[in-house]
Structure 1
């Protein structure tokens, strides 16, 4: 069995976390119509629970489309300022259900925990109070990586689990 070196796993997970953070948080502010594209397709675990698991400030969001609708229709304008993030490889041998999986040496068969903290302003950005936030996200490799619709490149990593909390 070919295994991924710890150095290579760290490099791949760090780059995945960086790419994710630099694209996801700006989308929460300016491209809310694309939010569902950051998530794995909705499915069900063997015990009947939905995937992805999305918790937003203690509220269960049933699926990526609902998360996108929440931000487009109910959330005021927001500006996120990420202060720091970290990542850890959770499972170095992950293979998505129904997927063949890629070469283990490529590093694309892992799940990654990304923890993020920072500040968010809701409403009129100039006058809104700054609130702290903390978020834990599990990323999985996109099993359908390649060209997306209308020539858009699909994301390499997708959200499987997300837990966002405003800090008091």
Structure 2
């Protein structure tokens, strides 16, 4: 029986210092693991800590290996598999540029309203929309805009945290 491939969102608390991200990425590339989404930002200025949120896929065994190897890296303080640890909130930000006039322009605005996307730039021939939502919602919006004149899209990747009062 073949093992099922699972998608996992992993949050990693690390020292905010040069080379840490390269070590994390090196762990993945050196073992042939894929990173589907990656975001990094400083979350504690006083202690110089950054949070890396990454989405990866693999069998249960591969995901457990990834977490164990991340936990052994020197600048890593904590590793949380948000997928396994219970309910969590995930969001992604996207900027989506759509060109069009006439009916296509009206339809793009109508769909943006449905998705609660905000117009952050407009010209006579294009819009730039800002959208925050789940990865699936962003995928759906970009897919619909592709039919109406998508010029380009820029996405932040997933940011996530567990629900409730507990955290890092």
Q: Shorter chain as normaliser: what TM range?
A: under 0.3
Q: Which structure carries more strand by proportion?
A: 2
TM-score by structure 2 length? 0.22
Which structure's CA Rg is the greater one?
2
TM-score by structure 1 length? 0.22
